[in-house]
Amino acid sequence: MPDLPPDKIDAILAERARFFTAGWFRELLAGRMTPGETFWAGTYGPLLFLVPGLVLLAMLLAIFAPAASTPVMALSSIFFGIYLLVLLRALVRSTARATRPKTWPRVGIIVTLLNALANIGTGVVLLVA
């Protein structure tokens, strides 16, 4: 692979610096990114921060407030499911404007819908149980 010119490297670094900022999330949830970016970065990017935080929270709750563990984890699951529904709307918008074949974006829509329903369902079951 040939070396990139400095201006291209600067553009790549500037784009990377925008990841997970408020403006990036606005673009993501408005469906202005490609279907692939919307699905992969929108679904799994926040989990890079959410999962370690929830593991730490679950551990602290188990130690200091065991009775609060289940409701807090249930609500976390429901809130993430709601986020996935918002992301699903963005993914549908992004897929509708895509000019490339739409088979994989449609699979992403189905996977996102199932993930959202599973998260919300898990949270509800934990709250009811």
Total structural domains in the chain?
Answer: 1
What pLDDT, in 10s, does the model give residues 22-65? Answer: 999 999 999 999 999 999 999 999 999 999 999 999 999 999 99
Q: Rounded to an integer, what distance in angstroms lies between the CA atom of residue 25 and that of residue 114?
A: 22
Q: Rounded to an integer, what distance in angstroms lies between the CA atom of residue 119 and that of residue 128?
A: 14
Residue 63 lies in domain:
6-128
Domain assignment present for residue 87? The answer is: yes
Q: What is the pLDDT of residue 10?
A: 87
Domain assignment present for residue 22? The answer is: yes
Domain assignment present for residue 71? The answer is: yes
Mean pLDDT value of segment 99-112: 95
C-alpha closest to that of 74 among 127, 3, 18: 127
What pLDDT, in 10s, does the model give residues 73-85? Answer: 999 999 999 999 9
Domain assignment present for residue 78? The answer is: yes
Residue 50 burial (10 A CB sphere; 0-12, 13-18, 19+): middle
Q: What is the pLDDT of residue 2?
A: 66
Domain assignment present for residue 1? The answer is: no
pTM passes above 0.85? yes
